[in-house]
Amino acid sequence: MRYPQAFVFVKPGTKLPSLENIQLWSQARSVYLPGTSRTNFAMERRIRTMSKLESYLAGPGHRPNREDLFVIHGRVVGSFLTLALGGDLRHVLWVDSAMHMKKLRRLAAMTDLQKGFFHLLRAALGRYEWLQAWLSRETDYGQLSDETFEKILAAFRARPFLGDFTSMSVVMTGLRRCVRAETRLGIANRIDLETDERQAA
């Protein structure tokens, strides 16, 4: 399938229209529907990357299934299609070119890095709490505490999935904004691509 490509994500369990209706209602040049279209390994790899980015935007606990998305080739997600999906439409993410796809793969890797850092930090803080409790229980030192760690722990307790301390929230907010911008989240009509094509001509 050629570029540009729109990755259309729907709510889990949504009954998708047929391949023929998706193509008709979207006015797409071609459609890739996982489980129905002939398997394309390059497309499946792109789906894994875009699903990872969509999951990052959706927040903790959300993992999209292959059955909850389809891909169209074109510059517009047709209004008939968006009307047919209604409230079941979750996100529309775009890939403009092969170079853009490479950039999105690097971005997906950064989301993995951020999640990994977050989990390591949680583990480190858990060990700090365990050591603190042991010292308080087994020694005469009383309740020892570190002001810096206590501030971070307070943030985790208040918002266990995100953390609310400055260094983490800035990184997470910046990365989330980057994902939203690079995937052109939610745009149904890529007028900017039409402008680029006219300028190239």
Strands 30-32 and 69-73: antiparallel
What spatial distance separates the first Cα and last Cα of the chain, rounded to whole Å?
Answer: 22
* Pair 14, 81: CB distance under 8 Å: no
Q: How far apart are CA 54 and CA 184, in angstroms?
A: 12
pLDDT score, position 107: 95
Please determine, for residue 130, whether its predicted confidence score (pLDDT) is greater than 60. Answer: yes
| Single pTM value for the model | 0.78
User: Residue 198: is its pLDDT beyond 60?
Assistant: no
The torsion angles phi and psi of 165, rounded to 5 degrees, stand at -85, 155
Same structural domain for residues 142 and 192? no
Mean pLDDT of the chain: 82
Q: Looking at the structure, tell me whether residues 23 and 56 fall in a common domain.
A: yes
Q: Which domain holds residue 75?
A: 5-96+184-200
Confidence of residue 122 (pLDDT cuts 50, 70, 90): confident
CB of 176 within 8 A of CB of 107? no
Q: What is the pLDDT of residue 135?
A: 80
Residues 9 and 91 in one domain: yes
- Tally of domains within the chain: 2
Backbone phi and psi for residue 34, each to the nearest 5 degrees, phi listed first: -55, 135
Helix (H) or strand (E) segment spanning residue 93: strand 89-95
> Is 107 part of a structural domain of the chain?
no
DSSP state of 35: T
